[in-house]
A and B are shown apart, each in its own frame.
Chain A
Amino acid sequence: MAMDNRKHINHAGRHFGYSYPKSLSQRLHAAFTPFMVIVAIFVLLRISSIFPFVSLATSPTTIAFALLATFVRLLIAYAFAIVISIPLALLVTRSPIMERILLPVFDIAQSVPVLAFFPLIIVFFIHFGFSDGAAIFVIFLSMLWNIVFSLVGGLNVVPSDIKAAAHVFGIKGGSYVRSVLIPAIVPYLVTGSLLAWAQGWNIIIVAEVLHTYIPGGAVQNDLFGIGSMLVNATANGQNGVFIIAMLAMILLIAFLNFFIWQKLLRYAERYKFE
């Protein structure tokens, strides 16, 4: 029945000359563009004084630095996620026994909500005087499993002929990992990373607002960043700050999408087996 519906939709698509997005980049593009249009309309409505526009209480430079601080946090968390996820994925796919043991463990680990542990993580990092570590760690955890499961999927689809060829030509051990497995997972690393960054941007709204998790906490406990700026601007009724901060964040995400991820997705095509 579902198949029949899809047939009708595809038929209708052809009939009206609309081509449905097939690749991940096309799907992202299709999803992102309407979102941008909605935001633009919303901003225009605010500027045209249909709603009372509140003056900007924070300078644009501060907003830019907040965005940079958040971006650096995401970047550090992502670097850790990459470094940890590749060996984890290689370990899981090392043998069917490893896969049977570790995959359910990873599945449970990724199912546990990261934020449930956030208060404990904060206490731990504040104990060492490194509150930034709490945010980075929670972003890292939210990114990790997207990449791990994507890589495991990629490693499982390396064709058996390729594995056999590597064996016949003496490509073994570290050389096999470097010259066959790592390149083979490039497309999956890119798609996993794309999803991981989306998850990271989602979690940043919570990860920087530490005071809500600290007993008797104040705004001063929060980390300087775009996430905490958005939350505190909303709480204080600073609509101007909220809108500009949100627009800045969307612009950065759009920039990364168009100039980094789209290019990487295209580049990764060359690493795909036919």
Chain B
Amino acid sequence: MPNDINLNNMPLIQFAGVSKIFEPEHETALRDVSFEVSDGEFLCFIGPSGEGKSTILQLIAGLEEKTSGAITKPENVSMVFQSGALLPWLTVLENVAIGLTAKGLSEAKARAGSLPYIEMIGLKNFEMKYPRELSGGQRQRVGIARALAVNPDVLLLDEPFSALDPKTTEELHRDIMQVWRDTRKTIVMVSHLIEEAVSLADRIILVKNHTIQKEFTIALPRPRRENEAQFSHEVLQIRREFFK
């Protein structure tokens, strides 16, 4: 399959010289960060832990305020969290519907609106289960369904596969690619795995020392396989910069 996503050239997200300093520790999280994300693009930030990649996601999600610079982003942004961040006292259906009820929809309408997304991520017949009755992978699927149910302009993925076993991670990679093709959502992901970034993203931005170090465009056709020579070449190229 070719790299079949048509990107609109209009940038959906723009960061211009953005810095973030956490007070009162006066700890620099980001320094002079500039980038653009096109509508429909799958962008992945990679980099060592604690050097700013998650802060970029938090700024896009509105969880943190920038210290300086300019950010342009759509209002309707949703996020999939590393831990799943599901409410343990709610069923799968109620967890997925929570974003819709917060938008003012009635319980019934929110639940009806959530069902297609639960089916889309392969959890049909799990609607009345509680998070504690699900596997780690299933919980992450619920998190993805919850994020999609609000029909966001941008879907943020904050290391959503880092706590899962390799088999489940691969299944979820396939699922997220399917969701991307079906919904044409703009996806911005954070990962610390170069292979994961190369297998999913159109573009990879390396964040090091609290700023953007380098950008890589991945022009490989999908589905991408790790055992292909071109895949290994891309990974090697990024790895060199990552450990430089």
Contacts and interface: CB of A to CB of B under 8 A. Distances in A.
B185 to A, nearest CB: 15
Given A169-B98, A272-B88, A273-B88, A164 B103 contact: no
Given A168-B79, A170-B99, A161 B62 contact: no
B103 A170 contact: yes
A161 B82 contact: yes
B10 interface: no
Contacts of A272: 88
Interface in B123-156: 130-132, 146, 150
B89 interface: yes
B85 A161 contact: yes
A167 B62 contact: yes
Contacts of A274: 88, 131-132
Contacts of A179: 87, 98
- Interface SS of A by simple majority: helix
A230 B79 CA distance: 61
B87 A162 contact: yes
B61 A168 contact: yes
A171 B98 contact: yes
B63 interface: yes
Interface extent on A, as a size class?
Answer: 20 to 34
Interface in B71-105: 77-79, 81-85, 87-89, 98-99, 102-103
Contacts, number: 57
Given A164-B79, A169-B78, A169-B150, A270 B89 contact: yes
Nearest to B79: A168
A271 interface: yes
Contacts of A180: 87
Nearest to B143: A165
A168 B98 contact: no
A133 interface: no
A240 interface: no
Contacts of A171: 98, 102
Contacts of A165: 79, 81, 85
Interface of A: 159, 161-162, 164-165, 167-172, 175, 179-180, 183, 186, 270-274
27 contacts: A159-B83, A161-B81, A161-B82, A161-B84, A162-B85, A162-B87, A164-B58, A164-B81, A167-B62, A167-B63, A168-B63, A168-B77, A168-B78, A168-B79, A169-B78, A169-B150, A170-B99, A170-B103, A180-B87, A186-B89, A270-B88, A270-B89, A270-B130, A270-B132, A271-B88, A273-B88, A274-B131
